[in-house]
Amino acid sequence: MFIRVPRRPQAQHLRQNKQMFSGIIEEIGTVKSYDGETLTVRANRVLQDLEISQSIMIAGACLTVVAISKSSYTFTVETIPETRARTNFKELIPGNNVNLERALRYGDRVGGHMVQGHVDGVGTVQSIVEDTNSKLIVIEADQNIIISIVEKGFITVDGTSLTVVSRNDDTFSIAIIPHTLTHTTLNQLSKGSKVNLEVDMTAKYIAKLLEPYRNHFPN
């Protein structure tokens, strides 16, 4: 059975995106189709109680479910120009894997950190180094993202809540433990991979408040 609702105006999508996430990936989904606007993902676990008009985070981006097919184990979302401009979705093709997380319910335990699903921009993987029982990944990002990244603070990479190991003028590093590698798409990254980034909202707001005074402080 395939259920579909009419395309919603952009404003209604934005109202739906008041949901919050934790950055703890529930499942790795597979892109079934994407025409640059309508994205259909094959999944299993997240479909158990997913409903039309609910929000779901796909590779770090909060999107509204517009169709669900229980028989084919798929759900469908639509991407607006703002989403496509700020994410790596332009590179999505059928067969690609994507991290999935349903929106939190009030009272849920937050295992990661509070994530909005509002991608700030795309970073580029510069290097991946094996480090004892983890992988150290260095990611290059635009300055407007770097200024809001704090060492030992939180950052979301393709929807995954992670701790920043270090940060310099144009890159930051994260350490990925084996469990995270196994349960997310981060184990598929290589040098040059594009990843969706969302900085910690508290750091983002503080950086915005300090913006008018930044030129008054030495680097």
- Domain of 149, CATH number, reads 2.40.30.20
Domain boundary among the residues 102, 134, 155 is at 102
DSSP for residue 132: T
Query: What pLDDT is attached to residue 18?
Result: 55
Query: What pLDDT is attached to residue 161?
Result: 93
Residue 9 lies in a domain: no
- Regarding whether 125 and 53 lie in a shared domain, the answer is no
Residue 2 lies in a domain: no
Q: How many whole angstroms separate alpha carbon 106 and alpha carbon 118?
A: 19
Query: What pLDDT is attached to residue 218?
Result: 57
- Regarding whether 97 and 162 lie in a shared domain, the answer is no
Residue 62 lies in a domain: yes
Positive or negative: CA dihedral 216, 143, 116, 188: negative
Q: Closest by alpha carbon to 103, among 162, 63, 158?
A: 63
Q: How many whole angstroms separate alpha carbon 64 and alpha carbon 74?
A: 14
pLDDT along the chain (219 residues), means of 10: 43 47 93 97 95 96 96 97 95 98 70 75 97 92 92 94 95 95 96 95 71 65
Q: Residue 72's domain spans which residues? A: 14-102
- Which three-class secondary structure state does DSSP give residue 98? strand
| Overall number of domains in the chain | 2
Q: Closest by alpha carbon to 29, among 75, 84, 71, 83?
A: 75
- Regarding whether 90 and 55 lie in a shared domain, the answer is yes
- Regarding whether 199 and 149 lie in a shared domain, the answer is yes
Query: What pLDDT is attached to residue 132?
Result: 82
